[in-house]
Amino acid sequence: MKVNEVPQDGRILESSGVRDLCYATDENGDYKQVISVGWDAKIVALDFTWESIYQECEEIKKEVLSGDKSPLAYHLHRLVMTPEILSDYSGFSKREIKRWCRAKHFNKLSGEQLSRLASALRISVEQLTSLD
């Protein structure tokens, strides 16, 4: 792709202030970094992905309300995280985090454990213990 052909459709990226770094060739055939504010194909893919995540979160929310899963499972999915990532951020083991995704284990967490998890997720303890 040539520098002047880098897409600048930008419906989502432009409004959020986010930019996409692309590489394109200049008139000499050398690769150059070019900033893009997005393109329609990427926007469609992102919209589809976020809609899928939203639908999956709604399913997990039902499982939380039925008592099968904990709010932690919901927030992990909502924030597009895995137990492995949260383990790295919080210092808890992956095994502990997977256990705490079940309501019966999550309900036994101490205030300090909840605080560490909430901090790693960058949400409040109140948010962590609810579906907000």
Whole-number pLDDT of residue 7: 72
For each of the chain's 132 residues, which pLDDT tens digit applies?
788 877 777 665 556 666 677 888 988 999 998 888 777 777 788 889 999 999 999 999 999 999 999 999 999 999 999 999 999 999 999 999 999 999 999 999 999 999 999 999 999 999 999 997
Domains and CATH numbers, the chain: 3-38 (no CATH), 50-128 (1.10.260)
DSSP 91: S
Whole-number pLDDT of residue 89: 97
CA dist., res. 122 & res. 114, Å (int): 12
- The pTM for the full model equals 0.74
Contact 107, 70 (CB under 8 A): yes
Whole-number pLDDT of residue 11: 63
Whole-number pLDDT of residue 40: 74
Contact 37, 69 (CB under 8 A): no
* 126 three-state secondary structure: helix
